[in-house]
Amino acid sequence: MDAFTITDRDTLDGCLSIADKPGVFLSTEITAQFPEDRARVHLLVWGLTEADHRELRLRRENLYELRRFLVERDLAHAVAHPLHRDEDRLSLAHVEKLLLLFRHFEGVNGTRDALTSDVLRFVTQRLSPVKMEELSNRHGIPATPGAKVLVGGSNDRSGLFVAQAWTDAEAVDASEFLSEVRAGRCTAGGIAGTPLGQAHGLYGQVFRFATEKVAGLNGGGLVGKAFSRFMEGENPTEFSMGEKLGFLAQGILTGQIFELAKPSRASLWKQFAATARDTDLNAHIAEATAGVVEPERRAFLIACLFADRLLYQFFTSFVKKLSGGKLFEAIQDVAMLAPVALSLSPYFLAFRQMAPDRAWLGELCQSLIGEPAPALRNTKRAWFTDTLEDVNGVATTIRRMTAATAENGDSLTVITSRESSTLTGIPLVNFQPIGEFELPEYELQKLCFPPVLQILDFIQRGDFSELIISTPGPVGLTALLAARMLGLRTAGIYHTDFPQYVRFLTDDRSWETLTWSFMHWFYSQMDVVWVNSESYRRSWIEHDLPEAKLRILPRGLDTALFRPDRRTADFWQKRGAAAGAVVLLYVGRISKEKNLDVITAAWTRLRAPGLALAFVGDGPHLPELKRQAPDAIFTGYLSGEELATAFASADVFLFPSTTDTFGNVVIEAQACGLPSIVSDVGGPKDLVSEGTTGFITRGLDVDDFTRATARLINDSALRETMRAACVRSVASRSWKDAARRFWDATAG
């Protein structure tokens, strides 16, 4: 380069420090204010003198006077990062005034998100003369003539990303370059910033500050060398034997090694040392960073892997000590989590600071152009779930809806965190969890602790416009955190009546109340909450969730799989039923909260020759169920055509659950021609037409449930009438249609 400048904020010190070098010209970034409300904006000014700078500082509290001075002096200038809201006081009206006052705007900024650049380009390219005249009349400000011009700048404060963004113009020297910029014969070049780049720069600034302020800390010691390796994207714990001996000697001479050995730091140091020696972790680091060029991304991956391992070790130690009654030792482990989390704070800070205000940008586009910028349209979504390959309604809904969405041509990615996943046929991203734990009283269901920062990074890089959250577990909480940090729209789906589940599993009303409090907090954070039935919509309104947020989730059905012509005379006979027997069927999870005791209690009253009871499914309540109904048929899990045949070959479907919010199995049974007997508590009752497709009985009322079941057992003509009605009731359901309605409900 032949010419050089630095645009420090509100000072010329950077430029003056190199002013004796050839080709240097003075520039600055000046902070100015709208005088009417003191809202701040930043202006880049190039090619000024020290006297000009003094005048700028005198006028910066009045943007209008400052702009007049720039025009009078014919100084090249532009509005810096005009759509980045440093403070909420920057409103749509302020942007309108800036568009009237100025011609040049920073279109590419090396430390700001690319979305704001995309929106700015969209707005400036489509602003019509009619709109500009309207704005001029509204604010009483004459419009600056000429098409809007975009410039670029790196905005680099760390020295790591110099000239990442720039302004292009054909010129032989600085004077001609500035002349071309003033004339608008220039373009913005380079790339926008990323959270990882900003965090990397912050790490560098903090370490430089620490080396200046902390005695004994320098770049040549252990900490300095490790940090340098980290900033280069290399494993900070890999040193030669000679380097290790040198660090040991230096630590003894300076006394730093004795500081590290203090009892208060012993636990953290012990865990860190063990992690650093972990050959499996080091191999994982090598694998994760292989082929990654950018130092900031390599450093990010290394930091995540180290921190995840340390956090998991401390957490498991905490759980073990707490379970063993060692409360104070457990609390000490929790305290050790703080420095690990603090070491990652630059990443969290960068993700939050760089997140654009999408809602505000959308409002701006709508007001100025009449439509959202392409980058703001709700066309790419991610669906988060803690459960996917499990056999339950949540997993079925997600798999079916996602597959149908892909068939419709829309972009929906499912995100989960499990040790392994063999699921195919849908767009799926599975993050390896930090650890897995089984839920008490729910042995077949595991909780996974996901790698939070890696998921944040994936969402930010993936340009998702909305996050759909199905479960309030660790994955769902991570998604909610990501949405809040990145400013994304959220849609929550209330699949499961967790408060009722907790009451059944613990038999403790206080835990149910506590669970309701958590559920309310979780779902109140969402922009939209989908529920499975009208009864649950009313329930949430009663629990003070705003009615405007609530919508009923469209649900589909695979009518090609579940159909009455799959009925086979010997399906249940082969499994122990008498020839021609009336088969009562339950399909679902075998667990306490499904109220299966109601079925077995009714069975003890109804048991008779020519009658069979069958259970399809598995779960923790299976041994007890077999004890209660030893003559029943138990098939375990069935799927696909075998499951559909099981439905079609039965005669009555029994589903006494009071905790299901929908009941996929009910409409599957109906599609196969089975009338259903359900509870009047929960979602399944909305699927049954009383006396037409089945019966709705009082929740947990064995007498009522028994009477309804006996009626269908003894009236074959009624069963046949209901069989036809059931098939008609679900004939129009399809996953493709449900996916389209679900997608279009929030498309923008």
Please calculate the CA angle 438-443-444 and round it to the nearest 5 degrees: 95
Question: Which contiguous run of DSSP H or E holds residue 602?
Answer: helix 596-606
Does residue 441 carry a pLDDT above 60?
A: no
CB 85 within 8 A of CB 364: no
CA nearest neighbour of 415 among 407, 423, 494: 423
Mean pLDDT of 450-455: 93
Gap between the terminal Cα atoms of the chain:
45
Mean pLDDT of 396-410: 91
Does residue 205 carry a pLDDT above 90?
A: no
Q: Which amino acid is at 497?
A: D
Does residue 704 carry a pLDDT above 80?
A: yes
Distance CA 534, CA 612 (A): 34
CA nearest neighbour of 309 among 223, 435, 481: 435
Q: Which amino acid is at 186?
A: C
The dihedral over CA atoms of 277, 281, 285, 287, expressed in degrees to the nearest 10, equals: 130
Distance CA 549, CA 540 (A): 10
CA nearest neighbour of 503 among 486, 490, 516: 516
| Rounded alpha-carbon distances, angstroms, from residue 379 to 360, 368, 501, 709 | 18, 22, 35, 48
Tell me the angle at which helices 195-213 and 295-323 cross, rounded to the nearest 10 degrees.
80
The predicted pLDDT at position 258 comes to 43
CB 465 within 8 A of CB 378: yes
More confident residue, 634 or 503: 634
DSSP bridge partners of 468: 383, 491
Segment 376-386, tens digit of pLDDT: 998 899 999 98
The predicted pLDDT at position 338 comes to 72
| Rounded alpha-carbon distances, angstroms, from residue 116 to 20, 84, 119, 355 | 37, 7, 5, 10
CB 89 within 8 A of CB 39: yes
556: exposed, middle or buried (Cβ count in 10 Å: 0-12, 13-18, 19+): buried
Handedness of CA 165, 171, 173, 179 (dihedral sign): negative
CA nearest neighbour of 498 among 538, 470, 526, 534: 470
pLDDT band at 437 (very low <50, low <70, confident <90, very high): low
Does residue 275 carry a pLDDT above 80?
A: no
Average of per-residue pLDDT values in the chain: 87
Distance CA 506, CA 508 (A): 5
Fold type of domain 13-193: TIM Barrel (3.20.20)
* Segment of 88-92, 125-129, 470-474, 658-662 carrying the highest mean pLDDT: 125-129
Where do the domains of the chain lie? Answer: 13-193, 197-343, 378-552, 564-732
Handedness of CA 569, 571, 574, 578 (dihedral sign): negative
Segment 339-362, tens digit of pLDDT: 777 888 899 999 998 899 999 999
CA nearest neighbour of 223 among 107, 330, 343: 343
In the block, residue with structure tokens 């292989």? 290
Contacts of 560 (CB under 8 A, 6+ apart): none
CB 640 within 8 A of CB 616: no
The predicted pLDDT at position 335 comes to 67
In the block, residue with structure tokens 């025009």? 71
> Cβ of 614: how many Cβ atoms within 10 Å?
23
Give the three-class secondary structure for 543: coil
Fold type of domain 564-732: Rossmann fold (3.40.50)
CB 210 within 8 A of CB 59: no
Segment 326-339, tens digit of pLDDT: 767 767 666 666 77
More confident residue, 236 or 322: 236
Segment 565-622, tens digit of pLDDT: 999 989 999 999 999 999 999 999 998 889 999 999 999 999 999 999 999 999 989 9
In the block, residue with structure tokens 């001996």? 245
CA nearest neighbour of 437 among 350, 316, 317: 316
Mean pLDDT of 32-46: 95
- pLDDT above 70 coverage of the chain, percent: 88
The predicted pLDDT at position 111 comes to 86
Distance CA 667, CA 149 (A): 59
CB 457 within 8 A of CB 300: yes
Does residue 708 carry a pLDDT above 70?
A: yes
Distance CA 341, CA 204 (A): 18
Give the three-class secondary structure for 562: coil
CB 151 within 8 A of CB 106: yes
Segment 362-378, tens digit of pLDDT: 999 999 999 999 999 98
Task: State how far Cα 557 lies from the chain centre.
Answer: 28
pLDDT band at 87 (very low <50, low <70, confident <90, very high): low
More confident residue, 396 or 506: 396
CB 198 within 8 A of CB 350: yes
DSSP state of 79: E
DSSP state of 574: T
The predicted pLDDT at position 242 comes to 47
Distance CA 199, CA 348 (A): 8
- pLDDT above 90 coverage of the chain, percent: 65
pLDDT band at 214 (very low <50, low <70, confident <90, very high): low
292: exposed, middle or buried (Cβ count in 10 Å: 0-12, 13-18, 19+): middle
Choice among 264-278, 282-296, 578-592, 695-709 with the minimum mean pLDDT: 264-278
Give the three-class secondary structure for 174: helix
CA nearest neighbour of 473 among 481, 465, 462: 481
pLDDT band at 279 (very low <50, low <70, confident <90, very high): low
pLDDT band at 243 (very low <50, low <70, confident <90, very high): very low
Question: Which contiguous run of DSSP H or E holds residue 169?
Answer: none
Segment 515-564, tens digit of pLDDT: 899 999 999 999 999 999 888 999 999 999 999 999 999 999 999 999 99
Distance CA 529, CA 472 (A): 13
> CATH says 378-552 is which class?
alpha beta
Phi, psi of 503 (to 5 degrees): -65, -40
Distance CA 128, CA 119 (A): 16
The predicted pLDDT at position 150 comes to 97
Does residue 66 carry a pLDDT above 60?
A: yes
The dihedral over CA atoms of 325, 327, 330, 336, expressed in degrees to the nearest 10, equals: -170
650: exposed, middle or buried (Cβ count in 10 Å: 0-12, 13-18, 19+): buried
| Rounded alpha-carbon distances, angstroms, from residue 401 to 55, 352, 690 | 62, 31, 29
Task: State how far Cα 93 lies from the chain centre.
Answer: 32
Helices (H), 1-103: 13-17, 50-59, 63-72, 92-101
564-732 matches 378-552 in CATH topology: yes
Does residue 319 carry a pLDDT above 70?
A: no
Segment 466-516, tens digit of pLDDT: 999 999 988 999 999 999 999 999 999 998 888 877 777 677 788 888 889
Does residue 193 carry a pLDDT above 60?
A: yes
The predicted pLDDT at position 249 comes to 45
Phi, psi of 676 (to 5 degrees): -115, 145
| 617 Rama sector, left if φ>0, alpha if ψ -120 to 50, beta otherwise | left
Structure tokens at 453: 């920062």
Rg of the chain over CA atoms, in angstroms? 33
More confident residue, 249 or 506: 506
The predicted pLDDT at position 218 comes to 57
Distance CA 657, CA 532 (A): 15
CB 541 within 8 A of CB 550: yes
More confident residue, 729 or 157: 729
* Segment of 127-136, 246-255, 420-429 carrying the highest mean pLDDT: 127-136
> Cβ of 637: how many Cβ atoms within 10 Å?
14
CB 722 within 8 A of CB 675: yes
Strands 165-168 and 149-153 turn out to be unpaired
Long-range pairs, 622-628, Cβ under 8 A, ≥24: 622/590, 625/590, 625/596, 625/600, 628/597, 628/600
Choice among 95-99, 190-194, 647-651 with the minimum mean pLDDT: 190-194
Distance CA 226, CA 235 (A): 8
Question: Which contiguous run of DSSP H or E holds residue 280?
Answer: helix 279-289
